[in-house]
Chains A and B, each alone.
Chain A
């Protein structure tokens, strides 16, 4: 009975190493990205030091670079996008989960998914040719377009979070004679608060990282820091996309530095958001 059959064992081991290697590729890639990006950003940090983050100037001729206007643009457009998108997303999510009759739920979900399938460049095209003539290439136009892009994400995730509210708590509210709105305020909101915040943050992360739509509609202004939404501005991903093609040396390094900053911020926001969403979903399911 003692059969020593090495063949299947070797193939089995080979497969094991194959899958371990494949998994390691992720680590390899991410590490490479971090190293390459940071290396590319070093020159401009050496040259500008900390002023890189607070300077408004961006002069290719003078080799002086500051990230502030671009950080402002990213922030401002994302805030506008959230201001528009969050109420709509929550409203749609609540409509789908609470108001819509069963036969309407699936088509509505498909409608939201349809919005998600449209590529961002198409939104950018529509924005620049259809909206910009009225609102100009500005923070507002960009915020509007970004809002259209992040709404599906926030809606889907909010839907999932809302659906983890225990049915027993919803029934308890109704049994006390609450109206639907009162039940939402009393049962759904306390449960879903955290998860919804996470969903919104994920939308924020996406808005901040969106390149193409912003590049087309934001206006590519230099040094613009203003609260006037109708003024043209710039954002980190947009300026990289627009200026990279003709950039040299230190400007290139400055653009890479912007990419590093963007990378760091979006990853941070995404991590916090995912942690919040996961915690809220497991907490409510456990009850």
Chain B
């Protein structure tokens, strides 16, 4: 009986079947290469339009934005739109007022709401309902918000920066709630326990330990919501009105904002107005970029270090 595995049974050691290690089957390598190339092409297809847009914005916008600097940022908007030349000051102020106001309204409200969801509500029916509705609210088209604010606010109180701020706040609120709740969830329970064991009340624990630990992520999430809100046009269309002169009054009077100016001037036949639209677009894009960058830097610098 020849034991299994002895050379006599296995015969000669088998020779390698092929001289190299290329993939078997024709075309498999080719298919793989094609796929990889397609993916790379997709990246190019994504990058090219982005580059084109930025090229136009910077190219056409810089011209009027830098003309007689800082005229673009401080002068009023030419009432006669045929006139060429800079002037978007009121729109910049308007954007700051409206976005700032929206932030002041929605961020504290959103943080408190998220605190309820994560620290008090948990899985209760009410909390589940609120969470669900907040998610639904993130999907509401901005034009619906605009119409809503018109029918509820503008009809009664007229155009104002406040109306625009309210409209944007409606858009921002569910986003702030969602991102803040995620941050609160990341705070480990052991920190809460430590604070309770020292005799702190629940509100104390939340305010001094939990929110503090979740702060970087919360700020970053809120900044991203701000960047998005700054670029929204539809909610403002029916709330803010149209003004070409400065209006620092937050509560009263028509105002304007960068997105609205872009929208209005985009359809103008006059090159001067179009140029101002590009300039406003440049300003808006820079603003959005800066805020987003701030958000990223915040996360990077102040992220809670891992404990041993």
Which of A's residues lie within 8 Å of B, judged by CB? 8-9, 11-12, 15-16, 18-20, 22-27, 29-30, 32-33, 36-37, 40, 87-92, 94-95, 98-99, 108, 111-115, 117-126, 128-130, 148, 151, 155, 177, 179-182, 184, 205, 208-212, 215-216, 237, 240-241, 244-245, 255-256, 259, 262-263, 266-267, 269-271, 274
In contact, A244 and B237 (Cβ under 8 angstroms) = yes
Residues from 24 to 58 in B contacting A, C-beta threshold 8 Å: 24, 28-29, 31-32, 34-36, 38-43, 45-47, 49-50, 52-54, 56-57
Q: Given A91-B38, A177-B23, A184-B35: A119 and B285 within 8 A (CB)?
A: yes
Mask: chain B, 263-282; 1 = CB below 8 Å from A; 0 = not: 10011000000100110010
Question: Do most interface residues of chain B lie in helix, strand or loop, or is the interface mixed?
Answer: helix
Write 11 A-B pairs (CB below 8 A) sorted by A numbering. A25-B113, A27-B130, A112-B46, A118-B50, A121-B231, A129-B266, A130-B52, A211-B233, A212-B259, A263-B144, A271-B139
B197 at the interface (CB under 8 A from A): no
How far is B53's CA from A29's CA once the two chains are assembled, in angstroms?
36
B232 at the interface (CB under 8 A from A): yes
Contact of B288 among A24, A119, A245 (CB under 8 A): A119
Chain A residues lying within 8 Å of B83, measured Cβ to Cβ, are none
How far is B141's CA from A245's CA once the two chains are assembled, in angstroms?
18
B71 at the interface (CB under 8 A from A): no
How far is B278's CA from A32's CA once the two chains are assembled, in angstroms?
37
Chain B residues lying within 8 Å of A36, measured Cβ to Cβ, are 148, 151-152
In contact, A29 and B139 (Cβ under 8 angstroms) = no
B173 at the interface (CB under 8 A from A): yes
In contact, A240 and B139 (Cβ under 8 angstroms) = no
Residues from 83 to 122 in B contacting A, C-beta threshold 8 Å: 109-110, 112-113, 115-117, 119-121
Question: Which of chain B's residues has its CB closest to A210's CB?
Answer: B141
In contact, B234 and A237 (Cβ under 8 angstroms) = yes
Contact of A212 among B41, B112, B263 (CB under 8 A): B263
In contact, A271 and B136 (Cβ under 8 angstroms) = yes
In contact, B139 and A205 (Cβ under 8 angstroms) = yes
In contact, A270 and B136 (Cβ under 8 angstroms) = yes
Mask: chain B, 142-185; 1 = CB below 8 Å from A; 0 = not: 11110110111000000000000000001001100100000000
In contact, B144 and A33 (Cβ under 8 angstroms) = yes
In contact, A181 and B139 (Cβ under 8 angstroms) = no
How far is B52's CA from A246's CA once the two chains are assembled, in angstroms?
35
Given contacts A37-B151, A211-B142, A271-B135, list 14 more A-B pairs with CB under 8 A. Answer: A18-B112, A33-B140, A37-B148, A89-B42, A121-B263, A122-B262, A123-B53, A124-B266, A177-B23, A177-B24, A241-B143, A244-B147, A259-B147, A270-B135
In contact, A241 and B133 (Cβ under 8 angstroms) = no
Chain A residues lying within 8 Å of B38, measured Cβ to Cβ, are 91
In contact, B234 and A119 (Cβ under 8 angstroms) = no
How far is B116's CA from A237's CA once the two chains are assembled, in angstroms?
34
B292 at the interface (CB under 8 A from A): yes
Chain A residues lying within 8 Å of B233, measured Cβ to Cβ, are 119-121, 211-212
Determine how close the nearest CB of chain A comes to the CB of B205; give it in whole angstroms: 10
B62 at the interface (CB under 8 A from A): no
Chain A residues lying within 8 Å of B36, measured Cβ to Cβ, are 99, 180-181
Which 7 pairs between the two chains have the least Cβ-Cβ distance? A119-B231, A91-B42, A209-B141, A270-B139, A22-B112, A15-B203, A95-B39
In contact, A23 and B147 (Cβ under 8 angstroms) = no
How far is B148's CA from A241's CA once the two chains are assembled, in angstroms?
13
Could you tell me how many residues of chain B have their Cβ less than 8 Å away from some Cβ of chain A? Answer: 89
In contact, B41 and A240 (Cβ under 8 angstroms) = no
How far is B268's CA from A129's CA once the two chains are assembled, in angstroms?
10
Contact of B147 among A37, A99, A210 (CB under 8 A): A37
B240 at the interface (CB under 8 A from A): no
In contact, B43 and A27 (Cβ under 8 angstroms) = no
B230 at the interface (CB under 8 A from A): yes
How far is B122's CA from A52's CA once the two chains are assembled, in angstroms?
43
Q: Given A19-B115, A274-B135: A237 and B143 within 8 A (CB)?
A: yes
In contact, B152 and A99 (Cβ under 8 angstroms) = no
In contact, B288 and A8 (Cβ under 8 angstroms) = no
B127 at the interface (CB under 8 A from A): yes
In contact, A126 and B57 (Cβ under 8 angstroms) = yes
How far is B138's CA from A99's CA once the two chains are assembled, in angstroms?
33
Question: Which of chain B's residues has its CB closest to A123's CB?
Answer: B53
